[in-house]
Every structure is written in structure tokens, then in C-alpha cells.
Amino acid sequence: MLGMPSKYTYPRNLVVTIHINGISLPNTLINLGAEINVIDVDITQKLQIEGLRPTQTLLELADKSILKP
């Protein structure tokens, strides 16, 4: 069994490339505590994730601006 990854300390770059099941996903944000659970349609297709349903979502950012994806 694989161990849990260590916590990423304050990085200089919050964007990294991750690899899931041999698929490379560039420009991935590192979560340092502010969680957003949003996944792009292109990524769900690359990872072959099925059975997802679209939802209406509004994101309120730290500067209080609101985004509608």
C-alpha cells in the first residue's frame, strides 16, 4: 500500500503537472487549504470519468468577485 503524500509546504509555484493513470495534466493548482471542487470537462474526458451530471455553480473568489463557469 502506498503512503499518503507529504503536505506541500509553501511553494514558489502553485501550478504543477500531475500524472494520473499515465495521463499528464499540466497547470494543476496545488491545494494549500482553500478548496474548490471543480473539474473541467476536458479533464473528465481524458480520465474517462463517466456518470457525471452538470450543476449550476457560482464561484466567489477571495476578492469577492463572482465567476460563473
Give the C-alpha distances (Å, rounded to integers) separating 54 from 3, 38, 39, 49, 63: 33, 11, 11, 13, 26
pLDDT computed for residue 9 by the predictor: 62
pLDDT computed for residue 47 by the predictor: 86
Average pLDDT across each block of 10 residues of the chain; the chain has 69 residues. List them in order. 57 76 82 65 84 82 86
pLDDT computed for residue 60 by the predictor: 85
pLDDT computed for residue 65 by the predictor: 92
